[in-house]
Amino acid sequence: MFTGLVQAIGTIAPNASGLQVSWTDNHGFSTPLSLGDSVAVDGVCLTVAALVNQGFRADVSPETLLRTTLGAKAEQRQAVNLEPALRLADRLGGHLVSGHIDGTGRVEAIERQGDAWRLALSWQEPRFGRYICEKASVAVNGISLTVAGCSDDGQQFWIAVIPHTWAHTTLQHLRSGDAVNLEADLLAKYAERLLNRPREADRSEPTAAAPPAPITRGWLQEQGWG
C-alpha cells in the first residue's frame, strides 16, 4: 500500500529478467531497500528482486506490461516516480494507493495558470470514468492528486498541480498526447462492489429473513429501557 507521495525520481530500463530502476539523484529513499520490498514505480507496485548499484531490479508480469506504460518507458529509459511501501506508523499524506493500475490515460492538455498548472486527462477505457468526481482522489503515475473538475461521465477530467508537485515529480516532463498510468480511488471501487453485490450471495443457503421484532413497551423493558 502507498500514499501517492513521491519520494524520489529514477530512470527505468529493460533487463533480462524484467526491469531495472536506477536513482536519478544518487541517494534514493531515506530508508535503504531490502530484497522483497515493494516499490511504486510510476504508480505500479513492483517487488525488489535484486539490489544493484544505485538501484534495483524487479520482475514484471505480462499483465503489468499490458495495463501500464512501464514497458514503453523502459525502452526509452525515461524518468519515473518512486515511492516505498507505506508503513503502518507513517502519515497518510496523500490517499490510499494500492499500486494496482486500472488502466492508462492520455494527456489532453497542459496549461500554465500563474504558478500552477492545469493538467487535462482522459481515460483510454471509458468504463473507469465512473470512479471520477470533483474533489475525488486519483493517482497519476503514482502521484496522489485531486480532481478539480470532470465531464459528466468522468471520462475527461482535469487537475490543478501546485508548484511543489510539479517540481518534484515527473509531471514536468509530460507533453500533450503522452500516456500515463491511472489508478482510481480504491474506496470507490470497494463501495461499488459491495453495493452491487446481491444480498443472497452472502448466504451459503438462502433462507427467508425473519421479520424484525416489533418495538413495544414490553420489548423495551426486556432490553433494560424501562
List pLDDT tens digits, range 43-52.
Answer: 999 999 999 9
Look up the CATH number of the domain holding residue 59. Answer: 2.40.30.20
Mean local confidence (pLDDT), 19-36: 86
Stated pTM of the model: 0.84
Q: What is the pLDDT of residue 187?
A: 87
Confidence class for position 226, pLDDT limits 50, 70, 90: low
* pLDDT tens by residue, 164-177: 999 999 999 999 99
> Are residues 129 and 65 both part of a single domain?
no
Residue carrying the nine cell digits 490517499: 95
Residue 178 lies in a domain: yes
Q: What is the pLDDT of residue 122?
A: 98
**Alpha-carbon distance 55 to 37, whole Å?**
13
Domain region containing 176 = 103-188
Residue 26 pLDDT greater than 70, yes or no: no
> Are residues 126 and 177 both part of a single domain?
yes
> Are residues 183 and 115 both part of a single domain?
yes
Q: How many domains does the chain have?
A: 2
- Residues 216 and 207 sit within 8 Å (Cβ to Cβ): no
Last residue of a domain, which of 84, 116, 144? Answer: 84
> Are residues 14 and 75 both part of a single domain?
yes
Last residue of a domain, which of 31, 55, 84? Answer: 84
Residue 94 lies in a domain: no
* pLDDT tens by residue, 172-225: 999 999 999 999 998 888 888 888 877 655 565 555 666 666 777 777 677 777
Residue 183 lies in a domain: yes
3-state secondary structure of 150: strand
